[in-house]
Structure 1
Amino acid sequence: MSEEVIYAHLKFPESRKTENIQELDRFEIKAPPVSSHVWRQIALTLTFLCLLLLIGLGPLGSIWHKCKPCPNHWLWYKNNCYLFSETRQTWQDSATSCSSQNASLLQIKEKSTLEFVKSQKLYYYWLGLSPRQDDKNSGENIISSARLKRYMNDINKMFCGYIYATNIFYVPCTERHLLACEKKANPVKAESVLMSEDPDREM
């Protein structure tokens, strides 16, 4: 009989644990499922926010496009824009082409410009040097190019300079070489990009 009592005492805690678990299961609070109406509202809100972002990015993109310092296909370096075209023309036609884009033939007046020109590895590009009556000094090392002066003689009988790597060569101005134009870059200010909505110049 004493064995049975011990057995009952040993089993009792186990049965109480089971009862406690069953009670917890009975009273456990389960979260109600989220209705499809709530998900629909969330999806609509996110879609609306995406549309607002897209609408806002449009004007910012157009402002940035208008505030670029150089036109498309031009290289920007320091305060200038440069165009290196693959079109071969006479010196005079090249000068006219640059002029039509509010630019001039490439001139090297500063050391920084010289370094930039050397880095571009230019071959057979006309320079904005004054035409000469002879081809003296052909092959001279490029240091700087003088400002273009008005020529008084017939251009077809004169010699014009072109760049070949780091040298300048003079050939008849009627020969056809590549086109190198330069012009001043438009200033870009941080406030103009952020605040201006209609910049009055195209860059």
Structure 2
Amino acid sequence: MAADMVYSELTLPLGHPPQGNQQPPDKRCRCLPLSAAIFFPVCLLFAASIAIAVMALRIRSCPEWWLLYKENCYYFSTNKSMWNTSREDCRSRGAHLIIVEDQQELDLLRQQSRVHLTFWIGLRKRENWMWNSGEAFNTSRFISDSTDQGDCDCLTQKGMTKLNCSMIHHWICEMTATHL
């Protein structure tokens, strides 16, 4: 029975044989380096754009009990003190008495202030009205109908009010928010 067996060798091509106008497998493989040369830089650019977007959208944070608004953190005191003592408390927290930048910020702070409470802000009159930063107070940026007398400014739910600096009131500290 062993003498009746026939052996044969079968050789198969690695790819499918070309049909119609397809290129043979050896010519299709030449496109792979070109595809990789285009695909890799596109992926690299995509990854870089995602990294830039994530950096631009960094999360801002404030210390506990501070309010975050835009780029700044605000602390509304629960104690009362005179204007100078309030300013020193803000400094001890790494902040300053608030410098109101525009009417929108003033409106937000008025909404956040509690009913019937008065808060010292970083505006004081020496010869002229000046912010803690040394910038002159620009009345055209704010709506104020206060006729009150005093050399320090407070924030109430009604708006900004001039009061005597030795009176005791709450205060609002401001600092730049930190990025995580």
Q: Does 1:178 align with 2:170?
A: yes
Counterpart in the other structure of 1:8 = none
The letter of the residue matching 2:121 is L
Give the C-alpha shift of residue 133 in structure 1.
Answer: 6.5
Q: Does 1:101 align with 2:93?
A: yes
More deviation, 79-88/158-167: 158-167
What pairs with 1:34-49 in structure 2 (closer than 5 Å)?
none
The normalised TM-score by structure 2 is: 0.51
SS in 1 for 2:106: helix
Q: Does 1:121 align with 2:121?
A: no
Q: Is the 8 A contact 2:119 2:154 kept in 1?
A: yes
Structure 1 stretches lacking a partner, 5+ long:
1-66, 135-144, 151-157, 189-203
Q: Does 1:74 align with 2:66?
A: yes
Counterpart in the other structure of 2:131 = 147
Greater CA radius of gyration, 1 or 2? 1
The normalised TM-score by structure 1 is: 0.46
Q: Is the 8 A contact 1:73 1:83 kept in 2?
A: yes
The root-mean-square deviation of aligned C-alpha atoms, in Å, is 2.5
Structure 2 stretches lacking a partner, 5+ long:
1-58, 135-149
Q: Is the 8 A contact 1:130 1:149 kept in 2?
A: no
Counterpart in the other structure of 1:89 = 81
Q: Distance in 2 between matches of 1:76 and 1:147?
A: 21
Give the C-alpha shift of residue 149 in structure 1.
Answer: 5.6
Query: Identity of aligned pairs, percent?
Result: 28
Structure-2 change in CA distance of 1:149 and 1:81 (3 Å): closer
What pairs with 1:10-89 in structure 2 (closer than 5 Å)?
69-89=61-81
- Aligned positions, number: 105
SS in 1 for 2:90: helix
Give the C-alpha shift of residue 163 in structure 1.
Answer: 1.1
Structure having the larger proportion of residues in helix:
1
Q: Is the 8 A contact 2:152 2:164 kept in 1?
A: yes
